[in-house]
Amino acid sequence: MKHVWLLMAGLLAMGAAGCSGSRPTALNYNVLRLSGASDAAVFDAAAQALREHFTIRHADRRTGVLEAVPVEMATTGGDGRLGDVVAAPRRERRTAEVRVESAGKLVKVFCKVLVQECDTQAHQMFNREHAISDLPTDTPADRDAATTTEQNTVWRTKRRDRELENQILRAVREQLAGAEVL
């Protein structure tokens, strides 16, 4: 009986530790705090501000989440890779997420814009280079034949675009001129 209680306590502790989730904080998002505005008005303002720079892929009023369709661009040079020597173009994209949360009269708007680089070729070379054996044991699915190019594309996050985050939050603040910024 003692072992059953210990097992149950251990499972409960693991479950509680695993349920923390990734809540937005000032460490991983740019935050705007407002007072005197409704959740619906703030959500609408955030959607409009995000639309100035991105197309919205997903909008959920219930959870307060807005996700944008990534915007791709070609860039050259920058972080000391082999392709930088010959100024080879590389694919980059910006992704954005805005979250609206309320706690009483306080409404928080969280904004994160990531700059990501397409890293598929390096990822594929690394996987094959560190294989245990050189025998051809890969299945077609292992060689990406059973999936789409979009599913197989690997994006590496380079940095956050804090300037664009500030522009989006500034647009939200301007649309809600009557709300008090805290």
pLDDT digits (tens, 9 = 90+) for 50-97: 999 999 999 999 999 999 999 988 776 655 555 555 556 678 889 999
Is 136 inside any structural domain?
no
Is 91 inside any structural domain?
yes
Torsion, Cα 28 30 32 38, to 10 degrees, reads -60
Query: Can you give the pLDDT at residue 140?
Result: 63
Is 8 inside any structural domain?
no
Contact indicator for 105, 117 with CB cutoff of 8 Å: no
User: Looking at this protein, which amino acid is placed at residue 60?
Assistant: D
Is 116 inside any structural domain?
yes
Number of separate domains in the chain: 1
| CA separation, residue 165 to residues 62, 81, 85, 169 (Å) | 23, 27, 31, 6
Contact indicator for 167, 175 with CB cutoff of 8 Å: no
Is 11 inside any structural domain?
no
Is 135 inside any structural domain?
no
Looking at every residue in the chain, the average pLDDT score rounds to: 77
- Give the whole-angstrom CA distance, residue 60 versus residue 66: 7
Is 5 inside any structural domain?
no
Is 110 inside any structural domain?
yes
Phi and psi dihedrals of 36, rounded to 5? 90, 20
Where do the H-state alpha helices sit in the chain? 2-18, 39-51, 82-85, 120-129, 149-152, 162-175
Tokens of 13: 């502790």
Which residues span the domain enclosing 63? Answer: 25-130+144-181
Per-residue pLDDT of 115-139, as tens digits, reads: 988 775 555 555 555 556 556 666 6
